[in-house]
């Protein structure tokens, strides 16, 4: 049981650090884009978004949203990955948490555009 709590704590800390990095990067005036997601990162994002902790879900949803709206380095997912993510978003759209539901809707719309 200790290992499971450690894993959840680690994922929660990692998601918090990732969001903080993205926020700092977005606020910087640098034009060079060095922080971005690629399809190989997708497995980790999907694993984390399936967490039962809403704070982790919110942070990972923000990361996925950010990856989909980038101009220069927008993540390009294969059809199988898009399908996986759409299924997950369909489930999360019905969340009682308004933030999760709204961000899930936005991510779902962006995924539809990538098809």
The predicted-structure confidence for 14-68, as pLDDT tens digits, reads as follows 766 776 666 666 556 655 555 566 677 778 788 888 888 888 888 888 888 887 8
Instruction: Give CA–CA dist 51/56, Å, rounded.
Output: 7
Q: Of 109, 11, 1, nearest to 57 (Cα)? A: 11
Average pLDDT rounded to a whole number, residues 102-110: 95
Whether this prediction's pTM lies above 0.85 is answered by: no
- Residue found by looking up tokens 């990361």 in the block: 63
């Amino acid at each position: 049981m200790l290992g499971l709590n450690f894993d959840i704590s680690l994922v929660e800390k990692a998601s918090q650090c990732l969001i903080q990095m993205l926020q700092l990067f977005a606020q910087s005036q640098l034009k060079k884009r060095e922080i971005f997601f690629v399809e190989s990162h997708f497995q980790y994002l999907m694993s984390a978004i399936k967490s039962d902790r809403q704070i982790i879900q919110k942070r990972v949803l923000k990361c996925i949203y950010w990856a989909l709206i980038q101009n220069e380095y927008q993540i390009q997912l294969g059809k199988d990955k898009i399908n996986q993510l759409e299924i997950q978003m369909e489930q999360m759209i019905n969340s009682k948490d308004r933030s999760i539901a709204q961000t899930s809707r936005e991510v779902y719309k962006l995924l539809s555009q990538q098809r």
